[in-house]
Chain A
């Protein structure tokens, strides 16, 4: 079963704008990760945030984590057409190995 739920399911923006995606999950976690998937391809790891962290940055990516609300957000700044993809949050807990994914947000960045 899916652990996380991303919101919105789909997002369409213009190049240069910022994109924000949210993720909610149900159980306690060790860490939360965000992955990107281009159409019909494998997943690419973007960023990992541990349960004791509240915010993390990597290039144009900013991730926040609120464990009290069991939610996370991914912000992509200054979006590019190449950012067009599906974005998934994935949680890891317990033995910290298998990932439990949400259904994803489909981001379309229009040039």
Chain B
């Protein structure tokens, strides 16, 4: 069990560019979550997958955001036409569906939009 991994750890991009982040969950976990955390705040829920199905999207996830989890394994989060307000830490977490809510978090991807 190597834990949840995220790539890249840091991303600096110019406004208007597209970025894609990857999350590899713990192998036997069938639930995968994305959260966004801005400075001085707690993480905020973005979206959630049960296997390959995306079951909920937050209102924070505008049309510029898209997330996928092909084959129910790793997941990608893409942001199109980035804006300065997208600068944040993007956290991925995974869990077992029968778990009572405990989630295992990756180290996060810090995005800076200049």
Flag the segment in A14-22, A69-77, A93-101 that touches B: A93-101
Q: Is the CB of B40 within 8 A of A43?
A: no
Q: Given A97-B31, A99-B103, answer yes or no on A43-B91 (Cβ-Cβ < 8 Å).
A: yes
Q: Which residues of A contact B101 (CB under 8 A)?
A: 30-31, 33, 48, 92, 96-97, 99
Q: Which residues of A contact B40 (CB under 8 A)?
A: 103
Q: Which residues of B contact A33 (CB under 8 A)?
A: 101-102
Q: Is the CB of B33 within 8 A of A50?
A: no
Q: Which residues of A contact B95 (CB under 8 A)?
A: 97
> Interface size of A by Cβ–Cβ distance < 8 Å?
26
Q: Does B65 belong to the interface (CB within 8 Å)? A: no
Q: Is the CB of B108 within 8 A of A41?
A: yes
Q: Is the CB of B48 within 8 A of A97?
A: yes
Q: Given A40-B110, A98-B33, A98-B56, answer yes or no on A45-B41 (Cβ-Cβ < 8 Å).
A: no
B108 to chain A, nearest CB (A): 5
Q: Which residue of A lies closest to B45 (CB)?
A: A98
Q: Which residues of B contact A35 (CB under 8 A)?
A: 105
Q: Is the CB of B43 within 8 A of A43?
A: yes
Q: Which residues of B contact A30 (CB under 8 A)?
A: 100-101
A63 to chain B, nearest CB (A): 14
Query: Interface residues, chain A, CB within 8 Å of chain B?
Result: 2, 4, 30-31, 33, 35, 40-45, 48, 50, 88, 90, 92, 96-104
Query: Interface residues, chain B, CB within 8 Å of chain A?
Result: 4, 31, 33, 35, 40-45, 48, 56, 89, 91, 93, 95, 100-108, 110
